[in-house]
Amino acid sequence: MNRTKLRLDTIVDLLTRKNLSQNWLAKRLNISSGYMSQLLTGQRTPSPSLRARILEHFPETTFDDLFEIMK
């Protein structure tokens, strides 16, 4: 089964350029900061609905910019 994980470097770069924090993004996505941390470290993978919400917050990006499909 394929897993989809966040691209840490891209998310961190986007947050830095926009002067936003991981906590800010977690609040906007309605998830805990701990869960956000697990997503960023690859310990957890985002659900399809969470991936869609993440993409909504960064409309300048594509799915491939933000996510990596792991086999």
pLDDT of residue 29: 97
Nearest-angstrom CA–CA distance, 55 and 48: 11
The string of pLDDT tens digits covering residues 8-61 is 999 999 999 999 999 999 999 999 999 999 999 999 999 999 999 999 999 999
pTM score: 0.90
Domain count, the chain: 1
At 15 the three-state DSSP class reads: helix
Domain that residue 23 falls in: 3-70
Handedness of CA 7, 9, 10, 16 (dihedral sign): positive
CATH code for position 65: 1.10.260.40
